[in-house]
A = this chain, B = another copy of it.
């Protein structure tokens, strides 16, 4: 037997102890799910993985993603064994002042990703593995999943993509402990879970292998082989037992997410000591040293400055096409930029980037959840990912976006085909809730350009925004260029396009409705009525000061017009922002389920065209 095996067993024993102690101290937490994973984690962190614990962001480090985020005690225990957390610190688990949260977040400096909604980690891993290929680096990406989460479709999206991209540098591990939160897994109920999983992953093109997840020598052997000799993605299916090592809960239902109370804790620690007597009394001199890559700092993201756009005023061009063109311009000045698209590249115009930089374009096919997960992975490994699909289809990945926000990922999203103005394809293809969804992501930025110049400038802004998710909403139909190439579009600003001393009301439009507002302005002017018009290209943050000051000069009246449902849209954002300012806000939005038709018919039917604005103005 290799002398390292007793050492690894000792580490696993220690991590089990600390998992019990920290959960009992916290009074809650997922101890049973941690115990099943302890041996796997010991093998990975103290033998198989090549990484430098002192330089977590070293770009050559192997990466580890804890997809089964509830088992985070075992991750904290590992970093405790690595010497990065004191005894005292590890016992702050789940307390308000601690960074050791109930599920991993980026507040913990050694977390690769925020997890806790299940089935997301493998997609993040696919992104990190692709980033390795893109950066021509040799690091490997390990993803630890639970067996319950394999029911999530996103796992199978990731599995298909990993095979398609021939990723021989990603190793998934399923901690197959048979028991979910409230029931055994589907596969366990149907027969032999591991065997079923093996068949499934093999059929998806992975190289999969079943291993005893509590036999250290077997684990080390199979993981080491996976790390060094794979010609495709590898899935290690580890037979484990939930609560392994503590008789009172081992392989038993009813212990998911349950911390042990005082007397139980004592009993558990005793059972553990008896079960792993050798590991508990381990005192060998095996000197563990991580297999570290050479020191290298992660590269910083540079401030990117795109050349001036070449659009001419009056030129008609859809903002979605301008997005594609802007991305090409950006790609020319920044090599970190990659483009991900969900099989609609000819609609979102991501295909322009693909043509210009084929080696930096990633076709993600119709699998939006995995695409967002991949984006998180690319972001973590230093790339600037722009991710495009129809605005409506980002809803497919709402949970991934939510988790990306919790993980402080700086994803850049471009949603085309916003609103009823797309026309004949009908409501299933219309983004009508995207503004609300994107505004709801913590710290997010929501942008909505009306023309090609503002699109171009906002893409540049997004490239330089690394703190959170930014979203660009684009329009299917062509709209005329109204801005000068020199105009700047700071995030959080707006453009006051029409203003006079006799304005009756401030009309706020964005995207396609901005032009309806301008049309209304023109028509009303003929009749001697003047209105102010703002282009709200930045919906979040909102330029509240400018809105209020213009509204003040407009009899304290605002009309908002948006190609979006009312809930969480522009109207509500504005109404809420001025809700203590004694300003009236009238909101025009899509209040009923739309249908197929011509764009003009649908804008009229929704009551968000120039005519509807004029009608509303005349009611004053």
Interface, chain A (partner B; CB < 8 A): 26-29, 69, 94-96, 98, 101-103, 105, 107, 114-119, 148-149, 151-157, 160-161, 163-164, 180-183, 185-186, 189-190, 199-200, 202-205, 343-347, 351, 363, 365-370, 392-393, 395-396, 398-399, 402-403, 405-406, 424-429, 432-433, 436-437, 439-443, 540, 565-568, 571-573, 575-576, 579-580, 582, 584-587, 592-593, 595-598, 601-602, 605
11 contacts across the A-B interface (CB closer than 8 A): A29-B424, A96-B601, A116-B425, A151-B365, A181-B343, A181-B347, A182-B343, A395-B399, A398-B437, A579-B585, A579-B587
- Decide if A163 touches B190 in the complex (CB within 8 Å): yes
C-alpha gap A392/B96 in the complex (Å) = 21
Nearest B residue to A402 by beta-carbon distance?
A: B395
What residue in chain B is nearest A369 (Cβ atoms)?
B153
Residue of B nearest to A190 (CB): B164
B residues less than 8 Å from A69 (CB atoms): 428
In the complex, residue of chain B having the shortest beta-carbon distance to the beta carbon of A118: B366
B437:A148 contact, CB within 8 angstroms: no
Q: A119 to chain B: which residues have CB within 8 Å?
A: 366
Given contacts A96-B597, A398-B398, A572-B575, 17 further A-B contacts (CB under 8 A): A95-B596, A117-B392, A117-B428, A148-B366, A153-B157, A161-B186, A164-B190, A183-B343, A183-B363, A202-B203, A368-B399, A405-B593, A437-B440, A442-B592, A442-B593, A575-B576, A579-B587
Q: Which residue of B lies closest to A434 (CB)?
A: B440
Please name the residue on chain B nearest to A119 by beta carbon: B366
Give complex CA distance A402, B431 in Å: 10
Q: Are A399 and B399 in contact (CB under 8 A)?
A: no
The distance in angstroms between the C-alpha atoms of A94 and B597, with both chains bound, is 6
For the complex formed, measure the closest distance between the CB of A147 and the CB atoms of chain B, giving whole angstroms.
10
Q: Cβ of A190: which chain B residues have Cβ within 8 Å of it?
A: 163-164, 205
**In the complex, what residues of B have CB within 8 A of residue A571's CB?**
576
On whether the beta carbons of B153 and A154 are closer than 8 Å, the reply is: yes
Complex CA–CA separation, A144 to B190 (angstroms): 27
Contacts of A343 in B (CB 8 A): 148, 151, 180-183
Across the interface, which residues of B come within 8 angstroms of A347, CB to CB?
Answer: 181-182
A152 touches B157 (CB 8 A): yes
Nearest first, the 9 closest Cβ-Cβ pairs linking A and B are A153-B153, A568-B568, A116-B428, A96-B597, A203-B203, A439-B567, A156-B156, A579-B585, A398-B398
Most-contacted residue by chain B among A103, A205, A402, A579 (CB, 10 A): A579
Asked whether A605 lies within 8 Å of B406 as measured between CB atoms, the reply is no
Question: Nearest-CB distance from A190 to chain B (Å)?
Answer: 6
A117: chain B residues within 8 A (beta carbon): 392-393, 396, 428
Please state if B572 and A94 are interface contacts (CB–CB under 8 Å): no
Question: Closest B-chain residue to A587, C-beta based?
Answer: B576
Q: How far is the CA of A515 from the CA of B365 in the complex (A)?
A: 48
The chain B residue sitting closest to A107, CB to CB, is B595
Is there contact, CB below 8 Å, between B153 and A429? no
Q: How far is the CB of A101 from chain B (nearest CB, A)?
A: 4
Measured between alpha carbons, how far is A601 from B393 in the docked complex, in Å?
A: 37
* In the complex with contacts A396-B399, A572-B576, A586-B580, A436-B153 CB distance below 8 A: no
A571 to B580, CA, bound (A): 12
Known: A101-B596, A567-B436, A587-B579. A346 touches B182 (CB 8 A): yes
Q: Which of B185, B433, B576 contacts A402 (CB 8 A)?
A: B433
CB closest chain-B residue, reference A197? B203
Contact residue among B186, B439, B573 (Cβ-Cβ distance under 8 Å from A164): B186
Q: Which residue of B lies closest to A191 (CB)?
A: B205
Chain B residue numbers with a CB within 8 Å of A592 are 442-443
Minimum Cβ distance to chain B for residue A195 (Å): 11
- A28 to chain B: which residues have CB within 8 Å? 424-425
Most-contacted residue by chain B among A96, A183, A441 (CB, 10 A): A96
- Tell whether, in the assembled complex, residue B605 and residue A96 are in contact, meaning their CB atoms are under 8 Å apart: yes
Residues of B contacting A163 in the complex (Cβ-Cβ under 8 angstroms): 190
Which chain B residues border A186 with CB–CB below 8 Å? 160-161, 164, 365
A402 touches B406 (CB 8 A): no
Smallest distance from the beta carbon of A453 to chain B beta carbons, Å? 27
User: How far is A541 from B160 in the complex, measured between Cα atoms in Å?
Assistant: 43
Give chain B nearest CB distance to A77 CB in angstroms. Answer: 17
Q: Residues of B contacting A586 with CB < 8 Å? A: 579-580
Inter-chain contacts of A406 with B (CB < 8 A)? 427-428, 593
| B429 contacts A103, C-beta separation under 8 Å | yes
Choose one: B399, B540, B580, B585; the contact of A580 (CB below 8 Å): B585
